[in-house]
Amino acid sequence: MSDHLDLSAMVAKAKAEAQEEAEIKAIVGDATEVERAAQLPDPKGYRILCAIPEQEEKTESGIIMADDYLKREELLTTVLFVVKLGPDCYADKERFPTGPWCKEGDFVLVRPNAGTRLVIHDREFRIINDDSVEAVVQDPRGIKRKF
C-alpha cells in the first residue's frame, strides 16, 4: 500500500511541476521566441528594420494563390511593418522639420525593392533608410501594388 501512496505522490508532484512550468511559460513565453527576437539585427544610423507582413494566400473569392505568385508579391511588396528604428532616424531637423515620419509598430508604404532584403527563420525582413518611407497606413489590408 505504501508503494501506491508513493506512486500517487510522485504523480501529484509531476502534475504540480507541469502546472508550474506551464504558468512560467505563459508569463515568459516560448524560449525560442525570445531567442529568435535576440537574433534580429539592430539597425544602425538612420536605418529602419522592417518585417514583411504575411501575404493573403487566398483571393476574396477563395482561390488559392500559387506559391510563385506569393513569392513575387513578397519580393515586390510596398507595405512593411516597422520593427525597430536606428538611433539616428529622423534626427536631422533640416531634413525632417515636422519630426519622425513613422514609429515602431507602424505599417509604412515604400517603393518596391526598397532596402536590403534578409531572411531570418523563414521570415523576410528589410532594412530601409528613414527617408524611404512614403506614407503610414492604419490598415494595410487591401493595399495592392499597381502593375
Type and span of the H or E element at 17: helix 2-28
Mean pLDDT of 39-60: 88
Q: 56 Cβ partners below 8 Å, 6+ apart?
A: 65
Domain ranges in the chain are 2-36, 43-137
Nearest to 90 by CA among 42, 136, 132, 126: 132
Q: Place 55 in a pLDDT band, splitting at 50, 70 and 90.
A: confident
Tell me: the pLDDT tens digits for 60-76? Answer: 788 887 877 777 777 77
Q: Which residues of 81-103 are buried (b: 16+ CB within 10 A; e: fewer)?
A: bbbbbbeebbeeeeeeeeeebbe
Type and span of the H or E element at 120: strand 116-120
Q: 23 Cβ partners below 8 Å, 6+ apart?
A: none
CA 75 to chain CA centroid, Å, is 16
What gap in Å lies between CA 106 and CA 117, rounded to an integer? Answer: 19
What gap in Å lies between CA 77 and CA 125, rounded to an integer? Answer: 11
Please state which of the four CATH numbers 3.40.50.720, 2.30.33.40, 3.40.50.150, 3.30.70.260 is assigned to the domain occupying 43-137: 2.30.33.40
Mean pLDDT of 68-87: 86
